[in-house]
Amino acid sequence: MTNPTAAILAIGDELLSGRTRDSNLHFLAGELTRTGIALREARVVADDHAEIVAAIRALSAKYTHVFTSGGIGPTHDDITADAVAEAMGAKIGHRADAMALLQAHYDRSGLPFNEARQRMARVPEGAVLIDNPVSTAPGFTLGNVHVMAGVPDIFQAMVASVLPGLSGGPPLLSQSLRVMRGEGEIAAAFGALAAEFPDLSMGSYPFITNGAHGTNLVVRGTDPGRLDEVMIKLTRLFG
Amino acid sequence: MTNPTAAILAIGDELLSGRTRDSNLHFLAGELTRTGIALREARVVADDHAEIVAAIRALSAKYTHVFTSGGIGPTHDDITADAVAEAMGAKIGHRADAMALLQAHYDRSGLPFNEARQRMARVPEGAVLIDNPVSTAPGFTLGNVHVMAGVPDIFQAMVASVLPGLSGGPPLLSQSLRVMRGEGEIAAAFGALAAEFPDLSMGSYPFITNGAHGTNLVVRGTDPGRLDEVMIKLTRLFG
């Protein structure tokens, strides 16, 4: 059994100007790993219609799932829904189900359901709404593209709404060994071991602490027995 | 005068498994903005030769500069240099200048300059070395691709070595106004103002603090006079 694959596309000028540090990629990466979906690629593009369309087309053709974050609010720079509709060849308008959700929300809060706020009901035909327990305005799933808000609290709530409905694979497990030796010292033996275990992904991540070189050795895979086997060998070599 | 453009490509399985949170994108975004180079896209791919080659080709054809981070150490999963060489059609081998740098470094430190460490001298023909004041092993610039280490301290030192040699454009300036109103309330007037200033990029970033909705309004551009003009109008509208 193999694992489904995924990409994340984060959308927003603010992520590329250095103003905002993205946290959604890191959060989603952890959640997907637990679900058994292999995150293979991440992209960040600006609030630019053509760029979003091109990225959605490329990623949705290549991976089992695409998750987007950002650009579904009420302002003029929120253009993700229209771009996703174009990329996937769907029509888009103010959808009655999303209008009803938002109308009820603004009725409760006593705020006007004005034209800008109605923009958040623009959802492509055929898309399934994604529940937003934080602030009501929904995300949506169209084909294999899951469109979510960029605000981290809302993004995380939407991920929690979407993931239980997706089929994962066997959980992607990892184990690691921290070694107080430089990468250059352990590379040959570690590389030989990686060649011996082609079914596992083995990586080494150097660090410097108090002026001393160390390396974190990380092994990943889906078979717990194989992980144990390689960890025993690693500990014998470097432990 | 227009601004040169750039993309960053971060390379590494650990960034996609949720194990490591990338900080190089955010750091580089800020540095490029100060230099007047417009960061347009970011990608993260795994330690996979074909994926790295494809991303380098796509990005180097599209933007003035490509900056890569990660995958230039001594272990078997450090495959960036070879992938960049293939993408750019250059030959690669152990280069004499890089070998000499590393030999001197290991002679000083009393560590063996073994085969794994020699791997860090694999640099494409025609590439210019990028100085690494932290740990000696160099990065390199090949065509418009700047190849740097993934460890944040070293990445930052290499960026400091590279950026002064690149031509920037006029500095990319930004100003912002924090408004304690929800996006839906200010969207119409803010959108109209954005249409009035097509030479500026205007974005709104909602937040929730103590249960109250607020929005950061951010304007970006290269002409300080235009930025002042729009900020006066924004302050009159929402201040």
Determine the Cα–Cα distance for residues B142 and B88; give it in Å rounded to an integer.
8
Closest chain A C-alpha to B108 CA, distance in angstroms: 16
Torsion from C-alpha of A195, B92, B58, A36, nearest 10 degrees:
10
Determine the Cα–Cα distance for residues A212 and A182; give it in Å rounded to an integer.
8
Kindly tell me if the per-residue pLDDT of B127 is higher than 70. yes
Determine the Cα–Cα distance for residues B217 and B179; give it in Å rounded to an integer.
7
pLDDT at residue A211 in the model: 80
Q: Specify the fold of B173-238.
A: Alpha-Beta Plaits (3.30.70)
Band of residue A70 on the pLDDT scale cut at 50, 70, 90: very high
- CB contacts, 8 Å: B238 with chain A: none
pLDDT at residue B19 in the model: 86
Closest chain A C-alpha to B105 CA, distance in angstroms: 13
- CB contacts, 8 Å: A42 with chain B: 15-16, 42-44
Nearest-5° Cα angle at A43, A37 to A45? 145
Contact between A169 and A1 under an 8 Å Cβ cutoff? The reply is: yes
Q: Which CATH class for the A5-165 domain?
A: alpha beta
Determine the Cα–Cα distance for residues B85 and B80; give it in Å rounded to an integer.
9
**Residue A217 CB contacts under 8 Å (≥ 6 apart), including other chains:** A176, A177, A178, A179, A186, A190, A202, A203, A204, A234, A238
Band of residue B18 on the pLDDT scale cut at 50, 70, 90: confident
Kindly tell me if the per-residue pLDDT of B177 is higher than 70. yes
pLDDT digits (tens, 9 = 90+) for B86-100: 999 999 999 999 999
pLDDT above 90 as % of chain A = 85
Helix/strand/coil for A75: coil
pLDDT at residue A1 in the model: 54
Q: Which residue has the tokens 């720079």?
A: A77
- The ipTM is 0.91
Which of these ranges, A164-168, B142-146, B194-198, B206-210, has the smallest mean pLDDT? B206-210
pLDDT digits (tens, 9 = 90+) for A2-11: 889 999 999 9
Q: Where are the domains of chain A?
A: 5-165, 173-238
B33: closest CA among A69, A42, A46? A46
A190 touches chain B (CB under 8 A): yes
pLDDT digits (tens, 9 = 90+) for B42-85: 999 999 999 999 999 999 999 999 999 999 999 999 999 999 99
- Are B191 and A14 an interchain contact pair (Cβ–Cβ within 8 Å)? no
- CB contacts, 8 Å: B74 with chain A: 183-184, 187
Q: Which residues pair with A123 in a beta bridge?
A: A93
- CB contacts, 8 Å: B33 with chain A: 17-18
Kindly tell me if the per-residue pLDDT of A166 is higher than 70. yes
For the segment A143-171, the average pLDDT, to the nearest whole number, is 93
A18 touches chain B (CB under 8 A): yes
Band of residue B212 on the pLDDT scale cut at 50, 70, 90: confident
pLDDT at residue B1 in the model: 55
- CB contacts, 8 Å: B111 with chain A: 182, 184-185
A200 touches chain B (CB under 8 A): no
Write the DSSP assignment of A114-154 as a string of letters.
-HHHHGGGEEETTPEEE--TTT---EEEETTEEEE-SSHHH
Band of residue B210 on the pLDDT scale cut at 50, 70, 90: confident
**What 8-state DSSP symbol labels residue B184?**
H
A93 touches chain B (CB under 8 A): no
Determine the Cα–Cα distance for residues A49 and A42; give it in Å rounded to an integer.
18
What is the separation of C-alpha A238 from the centre of its chain, rounded to a whole number of angstroms?
34
A173 touches chain B (CB under 8 A): no
Kindly tell me if the per-residue pLDDT of B133 is higher than 80. yes
Question: What's at A120, amino acid-wise?
Answer: M
Closest chain B C-alpha to A88 CA, distance in angstroms: 21
A114 vs B27, B29, B184: nearest CB = B184
A210 touches chain B (CB under 8 A): no
Determine the Cα–Cα distance for residues B137 and A17; give it in Å rounded to an integer.
29
For the segment A138-153, the average pLDDT, to the nearest whole number, is 96
Band of residue A139 on the pLDDT scale cut at 50, 70, 90: very high
